[in-house]
Amino acid sequence: MRIKGTVVITLKSGEKALILLTESKADQFKLYQHLATDAYQFKNELSEEEPEIKYISSGFKTDENEIIWDDNYIAVPNWYDKN
């Protein structure tokens, strides 16, 4: 699976979420599963480099350029909780 882009959205709570965009709905599902169960190093690096990002998820862009994503967001650890 390939990441084709990213989108940062602001949730109703004011927190920011990073959406990683894939090529298809099937790839989006696979990526979400990987982010939810693994990707520890990625989440740690994200928390250090972009501390304003509190959540991540995966999505894809339809043929009509509509972005669809999983709104069951995955929390990114706070960089200061790791020290």
pTM exceeds cut of 0.85? yes
Query: DSSP states of 24-39 as a string?
Result: SHHHHHHHHHHHHHS-
How many Å apart are CA 15 and CA 54, to the nearest integer?
Answer: 6
Half-sphere exposure of 57 (CA within 13 A, CB side): 18
Is the separation of the CB atoms in 58 and 28 below 8 Å?
yes
- Does 43 have pLDDT greater than 80? yes
pLDDT at 79: 63
Mean pLDDT value of segment 48-58: 94
- What is residue 72's DSSP assignment? S
Q: What is the DSSP string of 39-65?
A: -HHHHHHHHHH-TTEEEEEEEEE-TTS
Q: Scanning the structure block, which residue is given the tokens 């390939």?
A: 2
The answer to whether residue 81 scores a pLDDT higher than 70 is: no
What integer best gives the mean pLDDT of the chain?
91
| Share of residues in the chain with pLDDT > 90 (%) | 73
